[in-house]
Amino acid sequence: MAKKHAHATVETVEAATPAIEAPAPVVTIEDSVAEAAALLAEAADDAEIDEQIALGNSKVQRKYKLRYRDRARAMGLRQKWQKRTNNDWMATTLAGEVLDKQSKIHVPSFAAILIANGVEEPTVLSEAGEFQPSESRWPSQSKGWEGRYRMSGGLALRTVVAEAGVMLLADGETLEAPAEWVAKILR
């Protein structure tokens, strides 16, 4: 670009500012191993879910299992429990309260929440805190009973919580249900 000064014309060149690249993230072997382990665990979970989808003896229709799995994948959710639920407020809240590290339900913890919200009677848990299936609204303990208990209890709990607007936890904590979630359940 030429600029005129009183005594001369001076050409200036605007030098391009060199692009500064962010340094590549440091990836440790431990990070790589942890990521590989997570991917292997996710693949094993997916294989188990796909195997269960292929079974014809489930109470949950195949189309719902596929919908849950595909929705979780689309959302980038990687845990097995996330591929077996609709991932709404209640599902994620309950998962945090009653699932162990392997995504298995801790039935006494779930029963305690059902009791706190009036879905189950207090006698469903013994004095020692053990689940008493004979005292439950859903007493069956045939193969897959934990999943049926979670589904049946969860459906009953969903209605109670939506109508009350709050979910009571076993320790006495009260969680306010989001208005959007309540409206969806009560429609």
Spell out the domain ranges in the chain: 34-86, 88-187
Phi/psi-derived region of residue 8, left when phi > 0, alpha when psi is between -120 and 50, beta in every other case: beta
68-111: pLDDT as tens digits: 778 878 878 777 777 777 888 999 999 999 998 888 899 999 99
Q: Residue 17: is its pLDDT beyond 70?
A: no
Measured CA to CA, the distance from residue 64 to residue 82 in angstroms comes to 13
At 53, is the pLDDT very low, low, confident or very high (cuts 50, 70, 90)?
low
Which class for 123: exposed (0-12), middle (13-18), buried (19 or more C-beta within 10 A)? exposed
17-21, 117-121, 179-183 — which is least confidently predicted?
Answer: 17-21
Global pTM reads: 0.68
Three-state DSSP class for 167?
strand
- Which residue would you say has higher pLDDT here, 154 or 63? 154
- Which residue would you say has higher pLDDT here, 67 or 170? 170
Q: Residue 167: is its pLDDT beyond 70?
A: yes
Alpha carbon of residue 10 to chain centroid: 66
Distances (CA, A) of 78 to 45, 71, 154, 169, 172: 9, 11, 22, 26, 31
